[in-house]
Structure 1
């Protein structure tokens, strides 16, 4: 199965330590024995810090996005380092390069591509581009909630949601560099038009990837 996995920067860079990268490398290496794996890594706190500095100097949102993209690519390089010989050694900067690198039969790891596209959007576009069978979005909570579960004890998680419902949910969200939460509108539009099977799950435990691929009931499925 061809699978695209997006790993939120807030997950993989939470403690800014090698252990989380190594945990993911171990799981991804095991999955790559049976599946063709593409990974898109987010920027997390380091990206937000750099963006904050740039914005404080009057940089445009596009320029801030560009800075954030560079950080996602650095994070991708760290994961490639953890994966050692299991990953293609270069970070693709666009989708054609990602497809080209995949012919090596190695895990392909990338970050952002262009301004105004979150790494979740990059993952959705990549999934369509490479004709993936599954898109897995790993975030800091168990799935999609009707409100922030970190702030509301009565937040309700959706086991299933349609792409159209997701679009309505996101319509009121402000989109600025470094502030994407779950999918941005570009991502969900890609999922809707391509009918990509998509699951949002908690990435704090890398083992959840195995559960998703074993069709266990976990996270939120976009239908």
Structure 2
């Protein structure tokens, strides 16, 4: 944009105005919004976002967590730059249960869930500290993320998007729709990261919960629109991810892998198909 366009000018009313494409435009006008489509800068194009499940991995203790830590350590030592998000696990579910029983609104439930995920971030950060990984407090995470990721091989955050009291009310119930899966995908989109991987305790997406129905069919890959149309009874990730993915500009897919087979995490970071890929269609 040239200096001439930004030069303050005096209008008929003798007031100074800054010339811009959005001057005196309604930011709710669909045509105006469409005119803002343009290339988006990738701030961290070589960095991978990996979400480690709270209940599926960390809550399972040493037997499940340590092999995941070992694989993450190997990736870090091999030169991969990682942003690790964590979920709150069973403690967050307990807090949600108490809060719902007390009649707390969705925004308050979102705010109190941060503490449990942050605790898991410190746990994982401690285990990975020998490899130079740092856990970043939520209040400074976004602003200092590029500095930390260029200074350390990896960083850890609590995964919860900071909507807090401004969390969107869900269509059904009161559980916050934007939880740690959504926080990791939104972060990857904002910073233009190379990939987003969700580490769970299932091989990927199935037509039904495989823990309840062992004969459920595995879904190798699927478009977000098609997945929305199927209206599956349950999903291994936040349902809002489909809408986030469809509106994204930089991250066009994410992959769900089984952390009980940790080598799949490394495969996903290398760009291999190791679980279920959900893509924007």
TM tier relative to shorter chain: 0.7 to 0.9
Contact 1:4–1:136 (CA under 8 A) maintained in structure 2: yes
Which structure has the bigger radius of gyration? 2
Which residue number in structure 2 is paired with residue 176 of structure 1?
A: none
1:29-44 equivalences under 5 Å are 29-32=73-76, 33-44=78-89
Which residue number in structure 2 is paired with residue 149 of structure 1?
A: 210
1:121-160 equivalences under 5 Å are 121-160=182-221
Distance across 1 between alignment mates of 2:230 and 2:185: 18
| Shift in Å, 1:149 | 1.3
Do the aligned partners of residues 134 and 163 (structure 1) sit closer, same or farther apart at CA in structure 2, a change above 3 Å counting? Answer: same
Distance across 2 between alignment mates of 1:44 and 1:139: 11
Q: Deviations over 1:112-132 (max 9, x none)?
A: 133431111111111112211
Which residue number in structure 2 is paired with residue 188 of structure 1?
A: 242
Distance across 1 between alignment mates of 2:95 and 2:51: 21
1:77 matches 2:122: yes
Q: CA RMSD in A?
A: 2.4
Distance across 2 between alignment mates of 1:96 and 1:170: 37
Which residue number in structure 1 is paired with residue 41 of structure 2?
A: none
Do the aligned partners of residues 127 and 98 (structure 1) sit closer, same or farther apart at CA in structure 2, a change above 3 Å counting? Answer: same
Distance across 1 between alignment mates of 2:231 and 2:143: 29
Which residue number in structure 2 is paired with residue 177 of structure 1?
A: none
Q: 140-149 or 211-220: which moved more?
A: 211-220
| Shift in Å, 1:215 | 4.7
Contact 2:205–2:219 (CA under 8 A) maintained in structure 1: yes
Which residue number in structure 2 is paired with residue 113 of structure 1?
A: 161
Which residue number in structure 2 is paired with residue 201 of structure 1?
A: 257
Structure 2: unaligned runs, 5 residues or longer: 1-45, 168-175
Which residue number in structure 2 is paired with residue 96 of structure 1?
A: 143
Q: 40-49 or 57-66: which moved more?
A: 57-66
Contact 2:161–2:182 (CA under 8 A) maintained in structure 1: no
Structure 1: unaligned runs, 5 residues or longer: 174-179
Do the aligned partners of residues 21 and 81 (structure 1) sit closer, same or farther apart at CA in structure 2, a change above 3 Å counting? Answer: farther
Which residue number in structure 2 is paired with residue 211 of structure 1?
A: 267
Q: Deviations over 1:132-177 (max 9, x none)?
A: 111111112111111111112331111110121233345987xxxx
Do the aligned partners of residues 191 and 88 (structure 1) sit closer, same or farther apart at CA in structure 2, a change above 3 Å counting? Answer: same
Relative contact order, higher structure (CA 8 A, sep 6+): 1
Count of equivalent residues: 215
